[in-house]
Amino acid sequence: MESVIKVKDLYKIYDETSVEVRAINGVDIEINEGEFTAVVGPSGSGKTTLLNMIGGLDKPTSGNIMIGGQNLALMSSSKLIDFRMHNIGFIFQAYNLIPVLTAIENVEFVMHLQGISYRERRARAKELLEAVGLGDRLNSRPAKLSGGQQQRVAVARALASRPRFILADEPTANLDSKSTENLLDIMYQLNIKEKATFIFSSHDQRVVNKARRVINVEDGKIMSDITK
C-alpha cells in the first residue's frame, strides 16, 4: 500500500524559557493510504504537537514531513495554507464550525475556497451530511446542533475536499458515550466507503479499540506502533 505520510527524524524543541522542552524527540513514522490510526499517549506526551506538524499547522525544529513528495518542513506559511486546503482535512476537539454558516455551508466552505462550482459542492456537501446522518439538519446553524451533531458536521467538512488524509485531534473528548460510538461508527464507515485515511489523537479507549493501528507516544517518542 502507498505511503501517504513519511515522517523522518522529527524534532520539536521549545526553548522559549530557560528550560528546553523536547515535545517531539526524534520520531519516524509512515502512514499508508486508507489507514485508521490512533496516536495515543498521556497528556503532554506530544501527540497533538505531532499531529499539528503532520497537518502543517506547526513547523518542526528539524526533520522532514513528506506528503505526496512535498516536504512540509520547507514550505512557506502561505504555501502551507494552500497545501492544507487541498490535502488535509481537520477535525478539532471543540468542533470549530463557523458559527454564521449553516451545516451545509460549513461543509461547502472549503470546497468554495477550492473554487468548486456551487452545484458540485452543494451535491457533495449534501451527500456527506446524509452519510453522517444529518440529512435533515442541512440548514441548521451550529448553535442549533448538539455537540455530537456538530462533530459529525466537522467530519463531513473534513472529508468535503477529498483530502489525502484526515487529522482528528481528540475528536470525541467533548462527546458523551452515545455520540462517541455514533461518531466512531460514522468515521469507520467513511474510512471504508470514501477510502479516507484517518489519524486520531485520543485518550479514549473506545477510539483505541476501533483503530486498526495504534501508535503510542510518550515524552515525544514513539514507544510502540501496533497494527491490529
Answer whether 168's CB lies under 8 Å from 200's CB.
Answer: yes
What H or E segment, with its residue span, contains residue 79?
helix 77-87
CB count within 10 Å of CB 6 equals 15
What does the block give as the cell for 124?
A: 457533495
- On the CB side of 47, how many CA atoms lie within 13 Å of its CA? 23
- Nearest distance in Å: CB 110, another protein: 5
69 binds another protein (CB under 8 A): no
* Contact pick of 3, 25, 61, 96 for another protein (by CB under 8 A): 96
Instruction: Kindly indicate which of the ranges 19-27, 79-87, 126-134, 210-218 contains the residues binding another protein, using the contact rule CB under 8 A.
Output: 79-87
Instruction: Kindly indicate which of the ranges 16-24, 93-101, 126-134, 185-193 contains the residues binding another protein, using the contact rule CB under 8 A.
Output: 93-101
17 binds another protein (CB under 8 A): no
Answer whether 167's CB lies under 8 Å from 90's CB.
Answer: yes
Strands 213-218 and 36-40, by their bridges, are: parallel
* Contact pick of 6, 8, 22, 112 for another protein (by CB under 8 A): 112
| 27 vs 211, beta carbon nearer another protein | 27
| 4 vs 158, beta carbon nearer another protein | 158
Answer whether 84's CB lies under 8 Å from 157's CB.
Answer: no
220 binds another protein (CB under 8 A): no
* Contact pick of 14, 28, 113, 144 for another protein (by CB under 8 A): 113
What H or E segment, with its residue span, contains residue 180?
helix 177-193
CA angle 106, 136, 170 (to 5 degrees): 50
What H or E segment, with its residue span, contains residue 6?
strand 3-14
* Contact pick of 8, 86, 126, 203 for another protein (by CB under 8 A): 86
198 binds another protein (CB under 8 A): no
Residues that bind another protein (CB under 8 A): 52, 55, 57-58, 77-78, 81-82, 84-86, 90, 92, 96, 98-101, 105, 108-110, 112-114, 157, 161
